[in-house]
Amino acid sequence: MTREELLLTIRQAVIDGEKTATITSIQAGLEAGLDALEILNQGLTVGIQEVGDLFEKGEYFLPELMLAGRAMQAGLGIVKPILQAQHLGQENLDAGTVVIATIQSDIHDIGKNLVASMLSAGGFTVYDLGVDVPLLTLITKAREVQADIIAVSALLTTSLPFMGDLIDLLKESGLRETFSVMVGGASVNSAFAAKIGADGTAPNALEAVRLAKQLVHRKRETGK
């Protein structure tokens, strides 16, 4: 099979919600020399986006969405350790402390989990609070562990306002300068991040690690 055919097989396995086929097609891809990042970005992620489109068009329903989510998670089970290993060793071990969660009212966690894993691999101490996490829980944990960054994820457009509320709450509590705030998830873009006054956003897990490093560097240099 060509590279493109291998990637197509991975995408299709996610679209079909076939966990076993996702695993075997990834293994075949790796054996044939595909790179883990290529499998993630051009295989798994393209597949799950297609599933979202089919759901939006009314061709897929919740069960298909759930099966595809499981297939994606199974695929990440193979790809994530490879990506982590590729990044370990190149990073310093005291990169900073991050409290991460999917924000209140949202339960999507595939992307958030990927970001959390890659931050760990990048030398950050990561406290993952899970999904549907209330704003006060996030802030309390961040204070307890003296976090550098609060990173939040949201995929539902109806969850986005809670990200703005988080920043407002930090301001009201006099803590806005204490924590950098990173926002992300498929519904988030730079314009939105700027509008709510977040410190940045990232389109994927590797960019999220890069951004987190910049934010900690800035904080250590300037205190903000």
Active site residues: 106, 108, 159
Please report, as residue ranges, which positions from 51 to 80 form the binding site for ligand HCB (by CB under 6 A): 51-52, 55-56, 62, 65-66, 68-69, 72
Residue 119 sits in the site that holds ligand HCB (CB under 6 A): no
**If you write DSSP's letter for every residue of 178-191 in order, what string do you get?**
TSEEEEESTT--HH
CA 223, CA 157: separation in Å to the nearest integer? Answer: 33
Instruction: Tell me, letter by letter, the H, E, C secondary structure of 139-168.
Output: HHHHHHCCCCEEEEECCCHHHHHHHHHHHH
Closest CB 143 distance from ligand HCB, rounded Å: 19
Residue 114 sits in the site that holds ligand HCB (CB under 6 A): yes
Residue facing ligand HCB at closest CB distance: 111
Residue 183 sits in the site that holds ligand HCB (CB under 6 A): yes
Q: Which is nearer to ligand HCB, 18 or 109 (CB)?
A: 109
Closest CB 30 distance from ligand HCB, rounded Å: 19
Please report, as residue ranges, which positions from 136 to 175 form the binding site for ligand HCB (by CB under 6 A): 151-153, 155-158
Residue 11 sits in the site that holds ligand HCB (CB under 6 A): no
Residue 108 sits in the site that holds ligand HCB (CB under 6 A): yes
Residue 208 sits in the site that holds ligand HCB (CB under 6 A): yes
CA 218, CA 166: separation in Å to the nearest integer? Answer: 21
Closest CB 139 distance from ligand HCB, rounded Å: 16
Please report, as residue ranges, which positions from 87 to 106 form the binding site for ligand HCB (by CB under 6 A): 105-106
- Where do contacts with ligand HCB occur on this chain (CB under 6 A)? 45, 48-49, 51-52, 55-56, 62, 65-66, 68-69, 72, 105-112, 114-115, 151-153, 155-158, 182-187, 202-205, 208
